[in-house]
Amino acid sequence: MHYEGNIIRPPSEANSILLQVTVGCSRNKCTFCGTYTGERFRIKPDSIIMEDIAFAAQYCKRQRRVFLCDGDALIIPQKRLLIILQEIKKQLPWVTRVGIYANTKSLKMKTIDELKTLKENGLGIAYMGLETGDDVTLKKINKGATSQDMIEMARRAKQAGIKLSITVILGIAGRKRSRIHAEETGRILSTIDPEYVGALSLMLIPGTPLFKDYEAAKFTLIEPEEMLAELRTLIANTTLTKGLFHANHASNYLPIKARLPKDKAATLYLIDQALAGKVALKPEYLRAL
């Protein structure tokens, strides 16, 4: 496989074939992210991508899923992306699902019919970073989209039959807007009603604009108990049809996996127990991005 730079993938794609079709992120401006600092976004040559698919056909026969890396592979022009999916289907017939990162820009560039075509050719799930439903915070972190943009583009994916996994970040709003962030994020998640939600806890990365704000005392990193309280407010304000809510990323202080709404009461009780000191939180040295 031809890998370049930092390769990232969702936790749920840990056992997938990681096929890098782009390098970097098409936006690469979010204040909290340092993954692709200094990396120029580009789509890899088709010849390299096809070589990697052929490699996977020979050596990755146990994996049943493919994840298209990197930061925003959905932005690849429709014709080229369709060829990649068709080649995966042809050479890796045992693969049951292809996953991809998406953002509002890339989703807006695809019509619903084009997204349906991608779905018909194996694209089963899109991972989208909401981060927060609070428009004030979205602007501060330079996400490049409003909460309404997120809702509209997420609906486009769902209309095409593509499953959605939405990522949110605990602590991203700082202390003053913590509750607003949690409540608004719950509201937006409820409106989108994704199949999956993944909550991460903010870890500041040296060199990023948000880290510089932290050093200049312009941003407050909330304490673990405040992160937990924020998570509780978020879950309390989230209503999903039958979505799976994860907070078991390596960055989180309290691992949670809940089917909402079925497990909501039990999950809130678990968080209350942790806030009361009856359930231990993950120590800082065990946290990771």
Q: Could you report the per-residue pLDDT of 181-203, keeping only the tens digit for each?
A: 999 999 999 999 999 999 999 99
Return mean pLDDT, the chain.
95
pLDDT of residue 220: 97
Q: What's the average model confidence in pLDDT over 271-286? A: 93
List of E strands, 138-277: 163-170, 196-201, 244-246, 257-259
Q: How confident is the model at residue 217 (pLDDT cuts 50, 70, 90)?
A: very high
Mean pLDDT (whole number) for 213-237: 97
| pLDDT tens profile 50-94 | 999 999 999 999 999 999 998 889 999 999 999 999 999 999 999
Rounded to the nearest 5°, which phi and psi values hold at 69? Answer: -90, 155
Collapsing DSSP to helix, strand or coil, 88 comes out as helix
Closest CA to 240 of 197, 178, 277, 283: 197
Q: What is the DSSP string of 244-267?
A: EEE--STT-SS--EEETTTTHHHH
Name the nearest CA neighbour of 18 among 66, 61, 64, 56: 66
Q: Is residue 244 pLDDT above 90, yes or no?
A: yes
pLDDT in tens, 156-176: 999 999 999 999 999 999 999
Q: Which domains does the chain have, with CATH numbers?
A: 11-276 (3.20.20.70)
Measured distance CA(82)–CA(99) in Å, rounded: 14
Nearest Cα residue to 88 out of 43, 123, 125: 123
pLDDT given at position 122: 97
Mean pLDDT value of segment 225-229: 96
**pLDDT over 80 at 289, yes or no:** no
The pLDDT, as a whole number, for residue 95 is 97
